[in-house]
Structure 1
Amino acid sequence: MTRVLDAALRKAAAVWISSPGHEPRLVHAHWRDDALWVITGGSEQQVPGLTDQAQVTVTVRSPSTHSHLIDAQAVATLTEPDEETTQALKTARLNTEPEWEAVYRLEFSA
Structure 2
Amino acid sequence: MSDQTSAIQEGAKKSGILWLTLDRPRLAWHAWHDGSIYLVTGGEEQRLPGLESLSRVRVTLRSKDNGARLVEFEAAVSVVDQAAAADAVAVLAKERLNARDSDHLTERWARDSTVLRLTPVT
TM-score by shorter chain over 0.5: yes
CA deviations over 1:46-93 (Å, ceiling 9, x no partner): 102201443101001100101111101001101113222222111111
- For residues 41 and 91 of structure 1, the distance between their equivalents in structure 2, rounded to whole angstroms, comes to 18
| TM-score, structure 1 as length reference | 0.89
Say whether residues 1:29 and 2:30 are aligned partners. Answer: yes
Aligned to 1:57: 58
**Greater helix share, structure number:** 2
Does the CA contact (< 8 Å) of 2:20 and 2:59 recur in 1? Answer: yes
Q: Which amino acid aligns with 1:65?
A: N
Aligned to 1:106: 118
Q: What's the offset of the Cα at 1:32?
A: 0.4
The runs of at least 4 consecutive aligned structure 1 residues that moved more than 3 Å come to none
Question: Please, what is the CA RMSD of the aligned residues?
Answer: 1.5
Does the CA contact (< 8 Å) of 2:61 and 2:71 recur in 1? Answer: yes
Identity of aligned residues (%): 29
> How many residues are paired up?
108
Aligned to 2:12: 9
Does the CA contact (< 8 Å) of 1:52 and 1:104 recur in 2? Answer: no
Structure (1 or 2) with the larger CA radius of gyration: 2
Q: Which amino acid aligns with 1:105?
A: R
2:21 to 18, 26, 49: 18
